[in-house]
Structure 1
């Protein structure tokens, strides 16, 4: 029988040095507060993962076993952000080919808001100063390393579309709401990085795009 799920605990796992990082302790305290429930068979740590924080198994896991549950209220997307009323009111002008503008505006606002409800969650995000994704390589690097593949054209198309979306939809919207956004802070560069992040760590529940990342694994 699968082990009964329970709330995240904050005791140190001596065998793995779990919870030795203040950001992780803060994050797990936040998870407990917002109702995230996790199986005792898994834990969050950096050790044993490919990159940054990830979820690892303490013991064998049965097929179909629930490892964690996250209440919708704890998921960051356009219906839970502090600016959701504004986004809903003006959703028609935020329509785009990607369909991600409301989510990305939510992220732009929350990730730069020191009082954000998701601040403990953001503390575990990868360092945005460097993202090793073709979108952020120089044009020369892309030509040299991706020439002859379909990736080169796909990345170029993504860059053009992102820039167009930012300049024609996002930037005008931000300028009309200076109480929430500052183009000097909410730049195209940050927008591109958040796009890459959403592409890697979001899901579509057939209603809205939602960000569900716990850590880079």
Structure 2
């Protein structure tokens, strides 16, 4: 599952955010301290705070960076390509096949686990546009034009759960069974994912 890597960060600030997200992915928002992040980046805590003010702001920038990556994976609207197939391609593009992409999935899973205690205080949701984009793409497929947001989001969350759980488990599967078998599993998973999404979409919102 090849991804477009043209959106890789190039500025020093973006690279710092990319490095910080590795620690957030490993330890979660509460498990990663400013001192640990600063040490990983080779700078003092004061220097890090000068750049990002608070851990909350840095974490928010990490999520914004991820949201930008997710949107960049959206397939182009090529003439002759069905809307349902573009959506299938989009979900398949989210499956992690590099260490960086696996960190992305780990962090998204951790965000769901860690966020409940912060949800009431959160005023900005960086992943909101990504979910709205998926909602619009789903509604544009045959049989879903009149579906409610709740119905569509229930399907989206179901598929994203499968994609990200598989992605975070892949390194462990690779370690246990070796890269050759893991590669075969990856190919089969993508086939199964495509079949499952097509079945959900073809059933329509009224099912």
- If the length of structure 1 is used for normalisation, what is the TM-score? 0.22
Structure whose alpha-carbon radius of gyration is higher:
1
- If the length of structure 2 is used for normalisation, what is the TM-score? 0.23
Identify, as 1 or 2, the structure richer in helix. 2
Identify, as 1 or 2, the structure richer in strand. 1
